[in-house]
Amino acid sequence: MKKIRYLIVFALIMAFASSLSHAQDKIIDESIPALSYDTKLTKEEFYSKTREVKETPSGDEYLAYHVRLPQDWTEVSGRSPQSEDLSSKLLGEVVRFVSP
């Protein structure tokens, strides 16, 4: 009988805790403004102010990326991901770029 009481108390605590979490999520969601997809640049202006970076580090297609970065951003030199054994890591830095 004691086990049933503990189970009921535990279930009530879990139900109460989950409702608080849901309410908190709603408050947070309402405080974040919606993203605006309006752009001030034309496609041509965007392409002229950015450069395309397309790489496949270590020859691994799963690490391949394709992005457009501002013209003045540079790749940080130092350790080269190609020289590392990336397969031994679950998460890791593939490349780093910095703005001026």
| Site of tokens 């496949």 | 56
Q: Locate the domains of the chain by residue range.
A: 43-98
Q: Give alpha helix (H) positions in 1-100.
A: 2-31, 43-49
Question: Half-sphere exposure of 95 toward its Cβ, with a 13 Å CA cutoff?
Answer: 16
pLDDT band, very low/low/confident/very high, at 51 (cuts 50, 70, 90)? very high
Write out pLDDT tens, residues 5-43: 888 888 777 776 665 555 566 666 677 788 888 888 999
Enter the tokens of residue 89: 């890591």
Reported pTM:
0.49
Enter the tokens of residue 93: 């830095």
Amino acid letter, residue 13: I
The pLDDT of residue 20: 55
In whole angstroms, what is the distance from residue 16 CA to residue 33 CA? 28
Of the spans 59-63, 64-68, 75-79, which averages the highest pLDDT? 64-68
Instruction: Tell me the three state secondary structure of residue 68.
Output: strand
